[in-house]
C-alpha cells in the first residue's frame, strides 16, 4: 500500500469527521522486512479509536500485537510514535500459530485529524 492509498484512507475517515471532537487514529506501517513475511514494506493499517481498522499488515499474531500496542497508544493524551521489531524463528512461529517466518519492523504513529484540520485552516487564512 503506498502513500496515496494512506492519504485516501485518511480522507475517508476525515469525510465523516466532526472536528469539535478530538479525533485520533493510529497508523501502523511496515518499514522493513527480512525473509518470508505475509506483507512487504509499505503495507499499512489504520486503527480508529472505536476499534475499526482499514488495511492490513498481514494479519496473524504480528498484526494483533501491533493493534494492541496502537490501541494503548490511542488511549494516551500525548501524540506518540513507536517502532516494533518482530523476529520469528520456526519454533516461535509454531508456538504463536504464524505461517511465515522472517523479521518485520513496524512503525506506529498517532495521527490527530483535529490538529491536521486546524493546521490546514491556519494555512488557508
For residues 68 and 8, the model is more confident at: 68
Q: How far apart are CA 101 and CA 73, in angstroms?
A: 27
Confidence label for 20 from pLDDT (cuts 50, 70 and 90): very low
State the sign of the Cα–Cα–Cα–Cα dihedral 57, 63, 66, 71: positive
Residue 91 confidence class, pLDDT cut points 50, 70, 90: low
Q: What is the pTM of this model?
A: 0.74
Which residues are CB-contacts of 74 (< 8 A; sequence separation ≥ 6)?
24, 25, 26, 47, 49, 110
Question: What percent of the chain is modeled with pLDDT above 90?
Answer: 35
Q: What is the mean pLDDT of the chain?
A: 78
Amino acid at each position: 500500500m503506498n502513500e496515496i492509498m494512506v492519504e485516501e484512507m485518511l480522507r475517508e475517515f476525515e469525510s465523516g469527521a466532526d472536528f469539535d471532537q478530538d479525533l485520533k487514529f493510529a497508523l501502523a506501517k511496515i518499514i522493513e522486512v527480512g525473509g518470508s513475511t505475509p506483507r512487504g514494506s509499505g503495507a499499512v493499517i489504520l486503527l480508529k479509536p472505536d476499534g475499526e481498522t482499514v488495511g492490513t499488515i498481514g494479519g496473524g499474531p504480528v498484526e494483533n500485537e501491533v493493534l494492541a500496542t496502537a490501541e494503548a497508544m490511542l488511549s494516551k493524551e500525548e501524540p506518540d510514535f513507536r517502532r516494533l521489531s518482530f523476529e520469528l524463528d520456526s519454533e516461535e512461529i509454531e508456538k504463536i500459530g504464524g505461517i511465515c517466518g522472517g523479521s518485520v519492523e513496524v512503525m506506529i504513529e498517532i495521527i490527530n485529524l483535529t490538529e491536521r484540520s486546524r493546521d490546514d485552516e491556519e494555512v488557508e487564512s
